[in-house]
Amino acid sequence: MKIKFIFILSLTTTLCVAQQTVNIIPQPVSIQQQSGNFILTGNTAIQYNPQQKGLKKVAKFFNLQLKNTTGFVLPVNTSLPATIQLSIEKLATIGDEGYNMDITSKAVTIKANTTAGIVYGIQSLLQTLPAIRTNAKLEIPCMSITDYPRFKYRGMHLDVSRHFFGPELIKEYIDLIASYKMNVFHWHLVDDQGWRIEIKKYPKLTSVGAWRVDQTDKIWGSRPQAKPDEKPTYGGYYTQEQIKEIIAYAAQRNVTIIPEIELPGHVASAIASYPQLCCKQQQQFPLTGGNYTGMSSNYCAGNDSAFNFLENVLTEVIDLFPSQYIHIGGDEVDKNPWKKCNRCQARIKKEGLKNEEELQSYFIKRIEKFVNSKHKKIIGWDEILEGGLAPEATVMSWRGENGGIEAAKQSHDVIMTPGKPVYFDHYQAGPEGEPIAIGGMNTLKNVYDYEPVPKELNAEEAKHVLGAQANLWTEFITTAEHVEYMILPRMPALAEVVWSPKENRNWNSFNERLQNHFKAYGEKGLHYCPGNFTVNIRPFSQNGKLFVNLSTEILNGEVYYTTDGTEPTLTSNKYSAPVEINSTGLLKASTMQNGRIMGVQAARQSFAMHKGIGKNVIYANPVSRYYMADGSNSLTDGVRGTGTVGKFWHGFSGKDLIATIDLEEAKNIQSLALGCLQNYNDWIFLPQSVKFETSVNGTDFEEVQTVNNLISINEKNAKFDFKTSFPAKTVKFIRVTAKNNICPPGHNGEGKPGWIFADEIIVD
């Protein structure tokens, strides 16, 4: 792929009957079109008051973008009939990042309170121009725009630890962020798999910690532990000079870079470089991706030299980055080494701490105190809430929104970045036919429909929600092309969520504007997802009957379906109203666009009609709030789970599934089954066994049979029905007990409790 040092997302406008269509993303607060056009030529002048600080640099940036698109550079502060006027003024209501833009046939005027607002006005203006050079007239519709952001934090994250991406890709990423008026680049520079920032005081962090054994030929989760004699050759890092250049590049585009330096966990790369920093104080295996079994990945919380090391590292980081914030990670800390470490236990005793959770809080608070002494603030993932939140910390809520809600209620600032829907390493379509992803499904519409302010917060608490951010983790992303594909077009969708007023957002309007952005991506050679062609199949119950709604995200798309398991064609049923399901079977559905069936594979959903449909289920152990499927009675809704983790599956973490069904009346039955899922990489395992019991009164239960699991726990993926048949008997209550499994030897969670995922208890 050809990397672009200068990127401008600008779009050819489309002629309508009366006037050109304006395809600006994100949608401005107010836009009023008038008749006529402003024609941009090489004889148009950029004008500004040289006494207004920063406008000279803004004009230079504007000309740089125009040269890339139009091929010419506009004269500056020259008297010409056509002008583009840039002006800093005192304007009410639009804030520090807003702008007013008026376009007439003779002039373009962009006014703002700061240069940031001028830059955003320029970005909107650029989106009205062709994406590539053209000999056609450069006509910009006459209009007036008033615009300003809804949230002050509008972020994109990129993980460069799993796979190193050079400065050219980082600049392209920043250009894309800036083109959609996002203002934060969260640069994940440190993790187990690689240390990517030069620290002059500790050269081994990059000579050792930035390199690992090359296993890019293997899927991430199947990569074995490196052997001691294997040579690390895969990796890279950014010099401090490169980082300074990138920071300046971002600042010109009004993008702040927040560096992330992980602690106290996820630091195998640092410990491989300096083993004395961990509890074991012993040499690591060579680094690799995937399996880190037996390696140390935590700093020793009882070792003052670890804190001295971090203070020295953070001093160099703070001296480099002008950002108000330093991200310190704080997530997924394995506290088992601390439990076995004499120094850590001594620290707990000395500081009067109750447990390892409070030791983590001590660690974070101590680092925060140091960062604050440098006149900076910390951001951490929501695990930093564990054991007590550091006084001035800002929380990034990634494990759903609960951490963000809790932090906001404690009057801490929050950035919402929940795995669903803003983890862009998840699939956005397919997954058949799509580039490999870590799993899950966050479609374009999922992103566009996201509301960053949880309904659980009152008006005062909601003020602590600074905005939202999308995260791109790169376990499965090794190329610049793949990076582009995973963020386009989901990033523009999030940009509209965090910039535009909530009442201005409209899915159909966004889709229509997006079509021209697709053209721009193609003309620029950018890789992007054309859309999620997979039909959304949504079952629901009504008046004791089971129905399904079918829908597609595709603009002007139609849905065709079958209920007999055959592949849909243009002669199949065309969806127009909810489809009733009255028998066991397989429904398939496909999207039709422009007269042809789209997508690699039809969406499919199995249904099991049985005597327990719609009956209440009582659980001895609660269902995980993260995997509730479609409600408390998901095990009796007739809907079978798909291969997608989470969809129509009830999840139970670390405990047995014990479910009792009340059939409401005595019924004759002769078979029972429980459907379960195994997904090795997600810690989901088939139960060791499933016991089926029946009762007439709900108190006295009789065991029918215990069905043992015969499928290997090392099988990567499996769906299996634990089933028993017996002579017909009359029962009113059914109890099903599925015994939880533990992660097997060799698994990265070895010895820890796994998950049970179940979709249906089938009663016949």
**Residue 230 backbone phi and psi in degrees, to 5:** -80, 140
Pairing of strands 138-147, 30-40: antiparallel
- Write down the pLDDT at residue 546: 87
Q: Which residue carries 């200068």 as its tokens?
A: 6
CA distances (Å), 143 to each of 101, 129, 331, 501, in order?
Answer: 8, 14, 48, 19
In this structure, what token pair is assigned to residue 10? 């600008």
Q: Which residues are tagged catalytic?
A: 191, 266, 332
> Are 480 and 487 a contacting pair, CB within 8 Å?
no
Q: Which residue carries 């009164």 as its tokens?
A: 697
> Are 99 and 120 a contacting pair, CB within 8 Å?
yes
> Are 251 and 318 a contacting pair, CB within 8 Å?
no
The domain limits of the chain are 14-147, 163-326+399-524, 536-607, 617-763
**Secondary structure (DSSP) of 133-151:** --SS-EEEEEEEEEE--S-
State which fold the 163-326+399-524 domain adopts: TIM Barrel (3.20.20)
The residues facing 652 across adjacent strands are: 756
> Are 754 and 742 a contacting pair, CB within 8 Å?
yes
- Of the candidates 132, 125, 119, 120, which has an alpha carbon nearest to the alpha carbon of residue 102? 125
Domains 163-326+399-524 and 536-607 share a fold: no
Rounded Cα distance, 24 and 146, in Å? 13
> Are 387 and 360 a contacting pair, CB within 8 Å?
yes
- Write down the pLDDT at residue 133: 67
Pairing of strands 558-562, 585-593: antiparallel
Q: Give the three-class secondary structure for 26.
A: coil
In this structure, what token pair is assigned to residue 593? 């666009």
- Write down the pLDDT at residue 87: 97
- Of the candidates 191, 208, 196, which has an alpha carbon nearest to the alpha carbon of residue 292? 191
| Helices of type H across 136-239 | 167-179, 204-207
**Residue 198 backbone phi and psi in degrees, to 5:** -65, 125
Question: What is the DSSP code (8-state) at residue 259?
Answer: E
Rounded Cα distance, 257 and 253, in Å? 11
Averages of pLDDT over each 10 residues, the chain, 764 residues: 43 45 95 95 94 96 89 92 96 96 97 98 94 79 98 98 98 98 98 97 97 91 86 96 98 98 96 95 83 84 97 98 97 91 97 95 96 96 87 91 94 96 96 90 96 97 98 97 98 98 96 94 94 92 85 95 96 96 95 93 94 92 87 88 80 95 96 96 93 97 97 94 97 98 86 94 96
Q: Give the three-class secondary structure for 465.
A: strand
> Are 756 and 737 a contacting pair, CB within 8 Å?
no
The residues facing 669 across adjacent strands are: 729
- Write down the pLDDT at residue 19: 58
> Are 667 and 611 a contacting pair, CB within 8 Å?
yes
**Residue 402 backbone phi and psi in degrees, to 5:** -60, -40
Rounded Cα distance, 275 and 288, in Å? 16
Rounded Cα distance, 488 and 483, in Å? 9
Q: How many CB atoms lie within 10 A of CB 596?
A: 9
Q: State the sign of the Cα–Cα–Cα–Cα dihedral 553, 554, 557, 562.
A: negative
> Which residues, other chains included, contact 588 with Cβ-Cβ below 8 Å and sequence gap of 6+?
561, 562, 565, 566, 567, 568, 602, 603, 604
Q: Which residue carries 């790169």 as its tokens?
A: 474
- Give the architecture-level CATH label for domain 14-147: 2-Layer Sandwich (3.30)
Domain 617-763 has CATH 2.60.120.1190: yes
Domain 536-607 has CATH 2.60.40: yes
- Write down the pLDDT at residue 541: 77
Query: In the chain, what is the greatest distance between 2 CA atoms, to the nearest angstrom?
Result: 97
> Are 8 and 62 a contacting pair, CB within 8 Å?
no
* Dihedral angle of Cα 266, 270, 273, 277, to the nearest 10 degrees: -100
In this structure, what token pair is assigned to residue 475? 């376990």
> Are 10 and 130 a contacting pair, CB within 8 Å?
yes
- Write down the pLDDT at residue 16: 38
Rounded Cα distance, 571 and 575, in Å? 12
Start-to-end CA distance of the chain, whole Å, equals 57
**Residue 242 backbone phi and psi in degrees, to 5:** -65, -40
Give how far the C-alpha of residue 673 lies from the chain's centroid of Cα atoms, to the nearest Å.
36
Chain segment 678-709, per-residue pLDDT in tens: 999 889 999 999 999 999 999 999 999 999 99
- Of the candidates 436, 377, 442, which has an alpha carbon nearest to the alpha carbon of residue 412? 377
